[in-house]
Amino acid sequence: MTAIDRGTGQVMGQATGQAIGQLIDGVSIRMGGRDWIVPALTFGQIKRLRGRLEILPAEPGVLSGAQIDAIIDVVHAALARNYPAVTVEDVGEHLLDLGNMATVVKAIMTGSGLVPSGEVEAGTV
């Protein structure tokens, strides 16, 4: 079982409290009152999330329920690489909001090479 040291962000062994891994490189984004390192998605995650990635909104505006669920799932998948204890509920209820959503999605999409830097487009997988 693992835990996250909230101060350093390191993955810690629950039994020993020793760091067992460094964070994967990504973009530092403030969510829920603290900074999180948001890495790119893995190929496996991209494959599993393909349908979700295809319905991400191309432009800001009113989001459908399916788009909100897709955003939460994609952000959770990326965060889980560095913070395995973070749940889908944590992302949707405590971390992600309309103030940071575009920044977080852009970081994931560009970091994963799914869109060029500067513009996030829906259905680019």
Which pLDDT tens digit goes with each residue over 75-112? 999 999 999 999 999 999 999 999 999 999 999 999 88
For residue 90, give both structure tokens.
């944590």
pLDDT in the model for residue 111: 85
Alpha-carbon Rg for the chain in angstroms: 14
Rounded CA separation 111/96 (Å): 18
Helix 101-111 × helix 65-82 angle, to 10°:
60
Say which residue, 124 or 113, is predicted with more confidence.
113
Cα–Cα–Cα angle for 25, 3, 92, nearest 5°?
70
